[in-house]
Structure 1
């Protein structure tokens, strides 16, 4: 085993400023979109909620106009793992602009003051609300459903219908189409119906509601806000500066074509595709699967593609991790590249596929020879000259401990097992912060190059770069590359889609 430390990747902001820390980069250079003419100086929003919650939210978001002093150190939530091709998470990330706080320590590098979101600050943008676009829902209607004797699943359907109707009302009658719609979820809904048992699994209220709104194809991104966020009743929400940083970055990205920051250390002609799997909600069996593919470029422009359902029966295959048939893999990657080229107006010369299970070729299975399917699909679309890297990314049980010091090994440490296999610490000690901003002992990633010309060092360097592209917050890093980070959430959302609906392929709709 050979140890190697990969330098922290730099990201690019406005005015060509390069930095490794998103908050410092924005504070000095501003959003990347300021440099490529995609910046929006006004973000118009609407609100769906009870009259009381709507008023509270407008007051809450108006407070973000002013500077906010930081008070506590935040801890990055990196509690993610990969098992049998599925992304596992210990926490729900719908409201991901919250961070876990440690109130006993203050670190201004880790949690800097928030400069205020307005046109005069470094953000050069502001939130605006046309009250005519706000849609009210009645508290009495919600109470009547919650207090009724109907089954919980029926209650979820009825409450979802209320919000769905309000969203349709907004889309069909809005004065001017908003850039984003904030939906305030009363705490009593989340407490009573947030997750309801269904066979061996659970119905997630927010995932189901998100799928219903996405299926309308109104091209209005949504952000769910828990009532406790704006009332301040959650203990971990005491530090408004970090909430503000995370919130404005996420909403700015959801405003079409706006880019908070971009990668600078990776190939601009490369298309990065992540492929993972999720179980289909089914009360009778546990064998249906679907693939979730996400494609990104260096600016974080993301596309989502949902593969057809397929059966993966471990009792028959003797393997728990799913694999794809040749035609399935070929058709999926061709669809991805066709849309990627259309939307980005750019044809990549290199395609990198990150997959959460091992790649099978014809020597492993003549039926599930997915590797050949991916390669043939790429070459059909882009030509034989295209560079292709097939990379497996899994969680690793490998542990490397330091003999001295109170912190774990540094982020970016690569334990090279051989030329194509290594263990990468995507989380760990951050020299810039002079601390480890995580909750648990860092769990590294197992990286294997199944096929490709790229070196292990370069593949891991790109993976490390892609962990900095989670625009759902303003964190220094994430535990997984963005190609795989939200696969679990997307997979859960799409399984609730009404039959026959065609979901949008823009990544920000699923955030």
Structure 2
């Protein structure tokens, strides 16, 4: 075991530890399997009684240049056939059986749903000298075409935006493992901000340091802002939301995966097909799978916060709740803006009234979607509950039969076991009465490997208040890490309640307060 200097565990010589078996997923008409890919291959997607019919056909529109539109059309047509795996581990990388066999659903492509962007317009957009203007121009090219498609009758279920390499090179850098597209930013901006603070602070004589180039204090505000002013992915998702069609962004590395700029794509063709197809099925109103522990009447709520992009002082925050029904459907609700002094705590906290109102809105949204209030509410939050906050949540839960408030963080502690692999996924280590470490990433027996590149960090279950046993709470967190319908991954590091909080918050932050955001989670993916 290793630990950071901030954690003192020397007094604990022994830890109680146990293993939670891998949770099963539900497919088809109730069949179960441990693996999303195999479950879909054998049984097809979940058939729910939620009132939303299982799609039998998903129509897809494509926006791109002549080149990227053509490449994407060929790629989508390839999804209708079996895609073999080139990986040596068939458990981790099984072949893709074809869209119809995996989802019992056809892909419908038609030129009537497509829109072409001219290379002239792309060139004019990417040659803008100012980065923000470049992104705005490129995003507008796609939004104008999305609007055109939205006016057609019928209109497609999903719109695929096929980015030209020029747009990728000029307006975005790349997508990270969690799917977030980041713009270029100065290296070590935190260190630079601290240096500027030092130089802009009066010295013992009362004078400030003088920059030879007359550096303005306003630059400090820009550098300190932790979230980018302009982001292509975020702006496209936020703008496209108004047209009532979910969007799927396609990168050149997806449609031309063998080599981009001379670099080999890390994913094999079958994995690319699996991930893209699951996201496409979800955005076409499908329910790929759910978890066996997701009992009818349970509402899962992830509480997070995002920053105000227009706030130069970096003080304003907005609360946000991500709601998940027992079918696995995700919903998003925006809370209220409030001022937060980060010197109080790095993580924002709600006052009693704010906590009560946000959770009441989440419960109301669930009730409207399902048709009846939840029997049990589970709240996940990425920091400990302050007393006012806790009272507010509990007040909102007065009419709910059962509830659990869980704080989930990360701690720089690593445990090791004999051999070449890390601890098993599902390993629990108890640190205190209500404090546990849970390995959501680790050696996975079913896959015969550890599907990661670095030594995994366990989740830190900071505290738990409520009716359920620790085993129930921990097993649910492990199961919720398999509920990402944006890919076919076996599991991810965090439960879906908190997994994409930054990503969803960035899209939400790009929407004006006067605009009512869509509740459906699929618009933020």
Give TM-score, length-normalised by structure 1. 0.86
Q: CA deviation at 1:370?
A: 1.2
Q: Does 1:436 align with 2:450?
A: yes
2:85 pairs with one of 67, 70, 92: 70
- Aligned length in residues: 457
What's the C-alpha RMSD, in Å, of the aligned pairs? 1.8
> Any idea what SS the aligned residue of 1:471 has?
coil
Q: Does 1:374 align with 2:393?
A: yes
Q: Deviations over 1:175-217 (max 9, x none)?
A: 3121100011112112112115564442221111211111x1x
Q: Is the 8 A contact 2:45 2:103 kept in 1?
A: yes
1:254 pairs with one of 264, 283, 286: 283
Q: Relative to 1, partners in 2 of residues 1:326 and 1:35: Cα closer, same or farther, differing over 3 Å?
A: closer
Q: Does 1:330 align with 2:379?
A: no
1:448 pairs with one of 462, 472, 477: 462
Structure 2 equivalent of residue 179 of structure 1: 157
Structure 1 equivalent of residue 141 of structure 2: 162
Q: Is the 8 A contact 1:145 1:158 kept in 2?
A: yes
Q: Is the 8 A contact 1:13 1:262 kept in 2?
A: yes
Structure 2 equivalent of residue 226 of structure 1: 251
The 2-side partners of 1:238 and 1:465 are apart by: 25
Structure 1 equivalent of residue 298 of structure 2: 270
Q: Does 1:213 align with 2:227?
A: no
Larger Rg computed on CA atoms: 2
Range moving further from structure 2, 331-340 or 493-502: 493-502
Q: Deviations over 1:411-460 (max 9, x none)?
A: 00111223422111111111111211112111101113342121111100
Range moving further from structure 2, 260-269 or 228-237: 228-237
Structure 2 equivalent of residue 494 of structure 1: 508
Q: Deviations over 1:256-302 (max 9, x none)?
A: 2x211111123322111011223332573222222221111232101
1:191 pairs with one of 156, 169, 175: 169
Q: CA deviation at 1:231?
A: 2.5
Structure 1 equivalent of residue 380 of structure 2: 354
Structure 1 equivalent of residue 98 of structure 2: 116
The 2-side partners of 1:143 and 1:116 are apart by: 36
> Any idea what SS the aligned residue of 2:79 has?
helix
- Segments of 5+ residues of structure 1 without an aligned counterpart are 73-105, 362-368
The residue correspondences of 1:32-431 to structure 2 (distance < 5 A) are: 32-33=46-47, 38-72=53-87, 106-118=88-100, 121-148=101-128, 150-172=129-151, 174-194=152-172, 195-197=183-185, 199=223, 200=225, 201-202=227-228, 203-214=230-241, 216=242, 218-232=243-257, 233-234=259-260, 235-236=264-265, 239-256=268-285, 258-282=286-310, 284-315=312-343, 317=344, 319-361=345-387, 369-379=388-398, 383=399, 386-402=401-417, 404-431=418-445
Range moving further from structure 2, 177-186 or 35-44: 35-44
Q: CA deviation at 1:34?
A: 7.9
> Any idea what SS the aligned residue of 1:309 has?
strand
Give TM-score, length-normalised by structure 2. 0.84
Q: Deviations over 1:236-274 (max 9, x none)?
A: 256110111111111111112x21111112332211101
